[in-house]
Amino acid sequence: MTTPPTRPPTTRVRRTASLSREQIVDAAIHLLDRGGEAGLTFRTLSEQLATGPGALYGHIANKHDLVAAACEAVIARTVNVQASDASPQDTVRAVALAMFDALDAHPWVGPALTWSAGQLTMVRIIEQIGQQVVALGVPAAARWATVTALLNYILGVGGQNAGNSKTAQKLGANREDLLASLATAWSALDAHAYPFVRSVVTQMRVHDDRADFLFGINLILAGIKSQH
């Protein structure tokens, strides 16, 4: 009986061209979108890029810096609203909606912005909103409080929406089914103890999260106008 030929071991093809920082950050964004921060390691990233971890450390010092760089890239690409002919109110709306969409598409961005609040990414967002607050005629003494009110609303509501989507994915349910289940539970509440909740069940079942978010932005803008 003849001996079958030995198969050569399977080897991973290594990248020969040098990596750029942008390529590394793009691959990190892909892994973060797929598995969150837990799904991003230098090992998985090096496998994704078909290279060794050593090639990554020449561009990124550690995971903390990598997530911060990925967050900065997402914000720079989606929130850089520059429209010279737009009103301050319209610019605030555009920035807010861009942030809402970015947080929805990349749920890990919200937490990353929280722990990297002192870095340039957050500073750019504050600067963009702050310039519009100045243009709205808000007095200097009230500008910081006005900007933080807008920023806290954008990050809070946008982050909550992203968290809800993530929870629905984990449960394997779609948004319509979750809202229907919630509406059924609210409808069964005691009418004397929860009159308002029962009265908005129909609206809650069919509401649009993005439209509700924009409604809140408009309320804040209306408040700014009425005060100043």
Q: What is the pLDDT along the chain (228 residues), one digit of tens a residue?
A: 445 555 545 444 454 457 889 999 999 999 999 988 888 988 999 999 998 878 888 888 888 889 999 999 998 888 776 656 789 999 999 999 999 999 999 999 988 888 766 678 888 899 999 999 999 999 999 999 999 999 999 999 999 998 887 777 777 778 888 888 889 999 999 999 999 999 999 999 999 999 999 999 999 999 999 987
Structure tokens at 224: 């700014």
70 occurs within a structural domain: no
CATH of the domain at 220: 1.10.357.10
For residue 183, what are the CA distances in angstroms to 40, 174, 178, 179, 195? 37, 14, 9, 6, 14
Q: For the chain, where are the E strands, in sequence order? A: none
Number of domains the chain contains: 2
Q: Are residues 111 and 157 in the same domain?
A: yes
Q: Is residue 218 part of a domain?
A: yes
Could you tell me if residue 72 is inside a domain? no
Q: Indicate whether 190 and 104 sit together in one domain.
A: yes
Residues 165 and 209 in one domain: yes
Is residue 155, in this structure, part of any structural domain at all? Answer: yes
Q: What is the CATH number of the domain that holds 56?
A: 1.10.10.60
Residues constituting the chain: 228
Domain match, 149 and 222 both: yes
The whole domain housing 164 covers 80-227
> What is the model's pTM?
0.81
Position 118 scores a pLDDT of 64
Asked whether residue 1 is assigned to any structural domain, the reply reads no
Output the pLDDT for position 97.
Answer: 95
What's residue 82's pLDDT?
Answer: 61
Same domain, 154 and 196: yes
Domain match, 41 and 132 both? no
